[in-house]
Structure 1
Amino acid sequence: MGFGYSSSCLDDQHQQQQQHDVVFQDDENDLRSLLQILPHDLHENLLNEPKRARLLEVILDLGRMPEARYHGELGGQYLRRTVVSLKELEHAQNAVGDFGGDNRAGIEGTLHRISAIKSRKGLIVGLTCRVGRAVSGQIDMLYDMLQYEKSILFVGRPGVGKTTVLREIARVLSDEFHKRVVIIDTSNEIGGDGNIPHAAIGGARRMQVTEPSMQHKVMIEAVENHMPEAIIVDEIGTAAEALACRSIAQRGVMLIATAHGQQLENILKNPTLSDLVGGVETVTLGDGEAQARRSQKTILERQAPPTFEFLIEMRQRHYWVTHQTEKSVDILLRGKSPQVEVRRRDKKFKVVIERSKSYDECEP
């Protein structure tokens, strides 16, 4: 497809400054702050665990053995033979504080996220304690694209690193590109919990959202009140949020966002979110036009220009499929396979771009 890049590998000045591998930074203080809410025996076990730098989350479910999950490993690892008690869950809840309307809470000054599972009576019976880290190096995968100042939508399964990428984009746009950046931080996942945002977002400003249902209103408020050149928002999932995205894009503001879905087709088939990629409408052709196109008389076409010029499918943490949204949508609606760019890391963690690859040949 070709987005105008001069090399199949990113060899610009930025990459020369970022030759280190993508790593999870083992911030001892940040990790301790999360472990302190756990039962004491789990705290000590995990702090002495050699794999702690790859710790993804700790699962505490009432009446079940506590479990740790790690990046790069399938399944989990039980942390002890005894089950989690109600008293232990209450201790963790008291250490964290109040949960929001999305049943999420954070730890002030960190990027950690604690999500609650509640019974029908509102009692917390399970906790997912997710480790939040500022991961360096991910920006190399799309640093060149940011220079075009176009809106980008990320899709991918949970845990593939979408929020981590948003955080680093916020830092680079504000500190290196010197743009006015505002983050709409609905669950404080991007900028961390507390009133002072985490240093990982650089000079970007952060607007917190009191209730998840208010996210679309805060998005519009950011544009109207704070004159951003770029807005960053996580987890677009409602029609109101999709409409707010279109309104922001029409005002000439660069928009970087994630949406629920794993691939472009998921967004196209989602009536709530399809507007993000231009929407879909049914069109009836005349006999002559249908014959000229060699198609049926009733076809699907893109309804409007897409809100996001680029869409990136994060298939894996280091394997991305990049679409020029308008072209890919039009070709997919014709039942054909578009040409895409694959951005991946080789065995030496160097970023490689594969141009003009058929979409149906990309790795699952």
Structure 2
Amino acid sequence: MRSLLDILPHSIGQELSLLQEEEWAQIEEIRIRTDRPIELMQGGKPRFLSYHTTGEDASQLLGRLSNYSMYTLEEELKQGYITIFGGHRVGLAGKVIVENGFVKGLRDISSFNIRIAKEKIGIALPFLPYLYEERWHNTLIIGPPQTGKTTLLRDIARLASTGTKAIPPRKTGIIDERSEIAGCIRGVPQHHFGHRIDVLDACPKAEGLMMMIRSMSPEVMIIDEIGKSEDVQALLEAIHAGVNIIVSAHGYSLEDVYKRPSFKPLWELRVFERYIELNRNNGPGTIGRMYDQDGHEVKWRRGVDVC
């Protein structure tokens, strides 16, 4: 993660280089704002450093992120974030440029949120007896922001595409709308997966689901943060095509997401066979509860930290 220092302005990099290794390991986000102190998110808590970011720092950082060619970031600026080497994502905020009612891009960027992509190989292994029984169960992972949903999905994708001694590798497709699961750079995943992985990067979920089914005939599909009605309809099409789906959604509990009107078709058709609730009680990735298709709790050691 210290390789991030290479893209930071010298003054900011110098400040961060003073951190100890154990402090680096706890960083979830690095927030850089013009005329404000650098903010680190560590263990879900903010920590402010003494150095105040200057306008020159912001200009240098944007230049390095774009390789000094803003034209190359045209699409990323519409989305408000950039994916960099290592799969880390840099969120941006500033003056929004609107044209004909649509966001065209950003300028005068003064806030940067470097969200650290933490690949934790093996964290999904304890779930295998619950998620795989002759085939992968259709699974919904539930949790509020920064509870390890994406980290867990990433490792499930690795296991599905790699296989184990008891589980054959499956053709696995990732619809990575926000470039967080695979962290692709120029279409190439920056994280570790098996040989049988295919990724649609920066692609809307609903369109991506159908594209992947038509073009790559996946057996398992991994999707992060479903929520819209069109996402749900596309998931149903995937199920009808015989694809196993493992997805995540924002929420605090199964009861919480159950109230969403857009998810109603999923409940009516009893699509999911496993539900996993994550929280931050013991840090990101703490398992709350696990449920089966009927909503009955599956026995699991609560409070086990897997992320």
After TM superposition, is the score higher than 0.5? yes
Q: Tell me, yes or no, if the aligned pair for 1:62 and 1:126 is still in contact at 8 Å.
A: yes
* CA offsets 1:67-87 (integer angstroms, 9 cap, x no match): 11213xx53222224x32232
Q: Extract structure 1 runs of 4+ deviating beyond 6 A.
A: none
1:193 aligns with 2:165: no
Provide Cα deviations, 1:268-300, integer angstroms capped at 9, x if missing partner.
Answer: 111123333x1xxxxxxxxxxxxxxxxxxxxxx
1:128 aligns with 2:128: no
**What residue identity is the alignment partner of 2:160?**
L
Where in structure 2 are there 5+ consecutive unaligned residues?
A: 67-72, 98-105
Equivalent runs, 1:66-145 vs 2, <5 Å: 66-71=38-43, 74-81=44-51, 83-97=52-66, 98=73, 99-108=76-85, 110-121=86-97, 122-123=106-107, 124-145=109-130
Of the two, which has the highest radius of gyration?
Answer: 1
Counting matched residue pairs gives 276
CA shift, 1:48, in A, is 3.7
Cα distance between partner residues in 1 of 2:137 and 2:93: 38
Percentage identity across paired residues of the two chains: 25
Aligned CA distance change for structure 1 residues 264 and 46 (closer, same or farther; 3 Å): same
Instruction: Indicate which of 284, 299, 302 corresponds to 1:341.
Output: 299
Does the residue aligned with 1:197 lie in a helix, a strand or coil? coil
| Alignment partner, residue 69 of structure 2 | none
Answer yes or no: is 1:53 the counterpart of 2:30.
Answer: no
User: Are positions 1:241 and 2:241 aligned together?
Assistant: no
Q: Which residue of 1 aligns with 2:12?
A: 42
TM-score, length-scaled by structure 2? 0.82
DSSP-derived class of the 2:8 partner? coil
**Is 1:305 the counterpart of 2:269 in the alignment?**
yes
How far, CA to CA, are the matches of 2:162 and 2:201 in structure 1? 24
Deviates more, 1:201-210 or 1:170-179: 201-210
What's the counterpart of residue 301 of structure 1?
A: none
TM-score (norm 1): 0.70
Distance 2:19 2:196 in 1: 34
What does residue 32 of structure 1 align with? 2
Tell me the distance in 1 between the aligned counterparts of 2:117 and 2:218.
Answer: 26
Residue matched to 2:161: 174
Letter in 2 for 1:105: I
- Computed over aligned residues only, the root mean square deviation of the Cα atoms, in angstroms, reads 2.2
Give the distance between the partners of 1:130 and 1:203, measured in 2 at CA.
27
Q: Deviations over 1:296-354 (max 9, x none)?
A: xxxxxxxx2222221111123232311113x22xxxxxxxxx544334466xx79xxxx
Instruction: Compute the displacement of 1:255 (Å).
Output: 0.4
Structure 1 residue ranges without an equivalent (≥5): 1-30, 279-303, 329-337, 351-364
Q: Does 1:262 align with 2:252?
A: yes
Kindly tell me: are residues 343 and 137 of structure 1, through their superposed partners in 2, closer, same or farther at Cα, counting changes over 3 Å?
Answer: farther
Q: Which residue of 1 aligns with 2:149?
A: 162
CA contact (8 A) 2:176 2:182 kept: yes
In 2, distance between residues paired with 1:273 and 1:84?
43
Residue pair 1:153, 1:310 contacting (<8 A) in 2 also: yes
Q: Counterpart in 2 of 1:282?
A: none
- Give the Cα–Cα distance (whole angstroms) in 1 for the partners of residues 7 and 231 of structure 2: 34
C-alpha change, 1:96 and 1:204, in structure 2 (3 Å) is farther
Post-superposition Cα deviations, 1:13-49, rounded to whole Å, max 9, x if no partner, equal xxxxxxxxxxxxxxxxxx2332223232331332341
CA distance in 1, matches of 2:45, 2:279: 19
SS of 2:125's equivalent in the other structure is helix
Amino acid corresponding to residue 16 of structure 2 in structure 1? L
Structure 1 pair 267/182, CA: closer, same or farther in 2 (3 Å)?
same
Is the 1:232–1:255 Cα contact (8 Å) retained in structure 2? yes
Confirm whether residue 321 of structure 1 aligns to residue 260 of structure 2.
no
Rounded to whole Å, the distance in 1 between the matches of 2:270 and 2:78 is: 31
